[in-house]
Chains A and B, each alone.
Chain A
């Protein structure tokens, strides 16, 4: 058993629940990789536990990035490490991010350095239907062991990227109309496939041949997983809603650069938004109005948001910095923390495991030497499943995984 005590604990829990959002001099009790208890300085703890003093530090849940390309768009490798878009067909529902993630990507070590412990890894946005999305922890050498949940969505995309990728090859889609038509055709075909499966439930000889793309789309139509739709411009956002309504599917909106223009509508519909990347260049016309002001506007309107890096667009470890920029532009601090912890977990669909510091959750935690949003703050120690995954002191942390953290400065 492990006890962390003395720090200012930001649990990311909602106010009014059993665990307070902020506990000064808080005590966290960890057993077998899970959080067993969280409380104030008086929390009774069993004798003989390993105890870690976090006095003067801030403790938060491990940060969660709900939209990243870590591992499939490898850092510092160029073409050889870029496996993010299977850009050979506008519908590649049968491809899986899991099969493209390289756990040896150096960005994972930096993710931990920046306090990021869980990431939802997605295929890119060149295809209208891009492939299966997976959520993993940031430490390990076998990707299957890193998986927290799979699948956690099916990637889709509207707007400039698919029409550029295929229009330039003189293929469909070359317009926004074409993007929508490709998406509708895939869902429509999926509906037929689903109907045939239902018939086959009674008459097994009628079973259609297995179609891996349609199997994946069937999961979306059955609402087992959401379609996660890349949409920057307001009209692309509305196209996503239109198609979702037509097929009765769940969606999340990825990027939502123009989300502030339709914020009330999104809040009314309860559509979760992944906002970001914040703080990078505006690389395309559809990102013209991007900036760290967007999350604050969405949250104020009542939209549930996750702040995302879209790594490598913003490097994974700077999730906390982009959240800090959103705070500067008006997002309340508790909402900013939730957007990269609790709410991100809820939007991904992994809130039973991660996102807050409360009993029963995975012991994914970060001890910071100050305000996690500040430029000059650093993570002192990062835990994944109750084990030290990164330590600034530079001691070998999980040598069996080849992980040695830290700069040796603290």
Chain B
């Protein structure tokens, strides 16, 4: 089945916008995209007239808690933080993600077609996360997975020390303690990794199975990154210190105070997932919150994704966060990339999603106008060529 979307201004991301362009879709994949003259519509193709509309890739949210907890049911659906132990690398978000949760429908209504849903920041090491498509209606978690696991959650700063130091009256009660707990866990995993190697030659030396350490070994082997929650500049630097000590692939989550250490992060080409920004400054560590942060970090050389952190900013407003980042100095092209191709790269799924180019999944959104115009609406959302939302 061949489908041709015709007449729209197409922002493929990673290439120039095309007025009156054509997007050809076959078998759920993009077959061609470009100017009408260059791409003849084959006879027999189903034509979707999108004249006067704007077509973009489905948005990608690098950090959300969709399906894991949140919005209104309270404790009954609160499955984001397995509290009680500050180190829980053995827990997996896939075991809690609820495809029928209304937040998936919210994501579709905002033009978000791919997202990473992650455990919270109550624990120093919080568990495995995953990347999913949002066309979840009637599907299992396995059926929407794009990458699993896609990272291991870690957290620095106020949340962990509040939960353990004040709440459980145990370690970690300080920022030093939080770093120590993470370092201990990674160090233990390194020993475990060594024992696994020895066990390969002599199975009698294989250590007992430890699901948490097995998961952290994947982090040490750079099979998945450590994704480290850090707001304050010194927490951000601690995150980098830990990641570099163990030679990890990493991303900085939130990075609220990132502008203060933009040069440090930029010189490393760090991957930073910035947000939630359309909300209050609820904690001291979020005091530097400002929409100019994303633009400053991008200019410094970071790979910046703008995130919702749903439910902290409701996921339909991801595009709003990109627009206000643009208003505060991030160039338009960069701001569009920050909710499409850059997060796809950061999540390790850019071979499948994040831009409109031949061979990628046909995940695209028909907007009534440019998403950085406030009156523009998401009109139709397609995942792998199938219509999954219509206004």
Contacts of B326 in A (CB 8 A): 375-376
Give Cα A85 to B317, complex, Å.
Answer: 29
Contacts of A374 in B (CB 8 A): 373-374
Residues 286-331 of B contacting A (Cβ, < 8 Å): 286-287, 289, 310-314, 317, 320, 323-324, 326-327
Contacts of B286 in A (CB 8 A): 76
Contacts of A375 in B (CB 8 A): 320, 323-324, 326-327, 372-374
B278-289 interface code vs A (CB 8 A; 1 in, 0 out): 111111101101
Give Cα A312 to B72, complex, Å.
Answer: 19
Task: Tell me whether A279 and B278 are in contact (CB under 8 A).
Answer: yes
**B377 within 8 Å of A by Cβ?**
yes
Contacts of B70 in A (CB 8 A): 281
Task: Tell me whether B311 and A281 are in contact (CB under 8 A).
Answer: yes
Nearest A residue to B323, CB-CB: A375
**A195 within 8 Å of B by Cβ?**
no
Task: Tell me whether A373 and B317 are in contact (CB under 8 A).
Answer: no
Contacts of B278 in A (CB 8 A): 279-280, 314-315, 318
Task: Tell me whether A280 and B375 are in contact (CB under 8 A).
Answer: no
Taking each of B72, B74, B280, B372, which has the highest tally of chain A beta carbons within 10 Å of its own beta carbon? B280
Give Cα A281 to B310, complex, Å.
Answer: 8
Nearest A residue to B71, CB-CB: A282
Task: Tell me whether B320 and A76 are in contact (CB under 8 A).
Answer: no
* The stretch of A87-95, A197-205, A321-329 that contacts the partner chain: A321-329
CB distance from A307 to the nearest CB of B (A): 14
If A281-B313, A375-B327 touch, does A311 touch B377 (CB 8 Å cutoff)?
no
Task: Tell me whether B74 and A279 are in contact (CB under 8 A).
Answer: no
Give Cα A334 to B184, complex, Å.
Answer: 60
Residues 72-94 of A contacting B (Cβ, < 8 Å): 73, 75-78
Task: Tell me whether A78 and B377 are in contact (CB under 8 A).
Answer: no
If A313-B280, A324-B374 touch, does A279 touch B320 (CB 8 Å cutoff)?
yes
**A169 within 8 Å of B by Cβ?**
no
Q: Is the interface of A mostly helix, strand, loop or mixed?
A: loop
Nearest A residue to B106, CB-CB: A282
If A281-B313, A325-B374, A375-B327 touch, does A78 touch B279 (CB 8 Å cutoff)?
no
Starting from the known contacts A78-B282, A78-B283, 16 additional A-B residue pairs (CB-CB under 8 Å) come to A76-B284, A76-B286, A77-B287, A279-B320, A280-B278, A280-B279, A282-B314, A286-B72, A314-B279, A321-B374, A324-B375, A325-B320, A328-B376, A328-B377, A374-B374, A375-B326
A-B contact pairs, 25 of them (CB 8 A): A73-B280, A76-B281, A78-B282, A279-B317, A280-B313, A281-B311, A282-B71, A282-B311, A283-B72, A284-B74, A285-B72, A285-B74, A288-B72, A311-B280, A312-B279, A314-B279, A318-B278, A321-B320, A324-B375, A328-B374, A328-B376, A373-B374, A375-B323, A375-B327, A378-B327
The 9 A-B pairs of least Cβ separation, nearest first, read A312-B280, A76-B287, A76-B281, A375-B323, A324-B374, A281-B311, A282-B71, A285-B72, A281-B314
Instruction: Give me the interface of B with A, judged by CB distance under 8 Å.
Output: 70-74, 278-284, 286-287, 289, 310-314, 317, 320, 323-324, 326-327, 372-377
